[in-house]
Structure 1
Amino acid sequence: MTKREREITDIQEILQILDKGKIIHLALCDGDQPYAIPMNYGYTYEDEKLTIYLHGATQGYKYDVLAKNPKVSFSIECDVSPFDGKVACQYGMSYASVMGKGTAEICEDVEEKKAGLTILMKTQTGKDFEFTEKLVSIVKVIKIEVQEFTAKKRPIPENMQG
């Protein structure tokens, strides 16, 4: 991270970003061609370990890419707000973000799929849902074991605040 003053190290603050953000930008590696997609997500943070869950249709390009290379990276942001300046280089964007790397796998076990979808819906809506075997049979669930992540924020500069 080049701007250390923007780094967030407090895990509670990082978890707040994960709670507020609703879209993950998932980057996959298809040979020498990157492939990035926005998706909804859910997460758990237990025993200092971050796990992210995604879901989608039962087939598609992302699964073909993941089958060849399960390494992924991601970014999530929230509190995005532009601010003005007196000159062009003073304009900017305030935000908070989490970025990381991990390994993705497709969940095959029905109970693991149910758990992943429950976590995803809790993150997205704050509500608890239950899933039947029939419901989970029509989607794929991706589980990302996050190996490393960082977070940062850029507030609106004090001299720019109204």
Structure 2
Amino acid sequence: MRRSDRELRDPGQLLEVIDACKVFRLAMAAEGRPYLVPLNFGYAYEGGQFEFYFHSALQGRKLDLLRQNPQVCFELDCGHALVPADLPCGYSYRYASVIGEGTVELVEEPARKVLYLQRLLRHQTGRDFPLREEQAASVAVGRILVHSLTGKAHR
């Protein structure tokens, strides 16, 4: 990272950014082309391991591509603010971001789908919701096992 003074290394710092963001962008590559989609997400950090969760329609391009190549990259950012200046080169921008790489597992087990959807709902709403396996069956659920994660902030 060129600006090492802005790098976020500590898991607590990364979690602070992840907690503040509600949308991440999931990048996939298959069929010789990149594809990027914004998604709501949930996450867990347990035993030093990050996992992210998303939901999707049961069919579509995203799932087709993930079945071909489950290796992904994702990005999330928040805390945006323009810092004005008198001269054009003096302007700056406040932000915090996290970029990660991982492998997607399309979850089939009903109990795990419920758990991951509950984590997504908790992150998005701040509330816990009861959820039945029949409800979870109406969507696809992806779990990203994170292999690398970096953060950067200019606050």
TM value normalised by structure 2: 0.96
Alignment map for 1:35-74 (pairs within 5 Å): 35-74=35-74
Does residue 92 (structure 1) correspond to residue 89 (structure 2)? The answer is no
**Structure 2 regions of 5+ residues with no counterpart?**
none
Does residue 80 (structure 1) correspond to residue 80 (structure 2)? The answer is yes
Give, in whole Å, the separation in 2 of the partners of 1:33 and 1:83. 36
**Structure 1 regions of 5+ residues with no counterpart?**
156-162
RMSD over equivalenced CA pairs, Å = 0.9
Once superposed, which parts of structure 1, at least 4 consecutive aligned residues long, lie more than 4 Å away?
none
Give, in whole Å, the separation in 2 of the partners of 1:89 and 1:67. 45
Where 2:121 maps in the other structure, the secondary structure is helix
**What is the aligned partner in structure 1 of residue 5 from structure 2?**
5
TM value normalised by structure 1: 0.92
The percentage of counterpart residues that share the same residue type is 36
Q: How many residues align?
A: 155
**What is the aligned partner in structure 2 of residue 144 from structure 1?**
144
Q: Give the AA of the match of 1:44.
A: A
Of stretches 50-59 and 124-133 in structure 1, the one that deviates more from structure 2 is 124-133
Give, in whole Å, the separation in 2 of the partners of 1:101 and 1:116. 19
Give, in whole Å, the separation in 2 of the partners of 1:13 and 1:33. 33
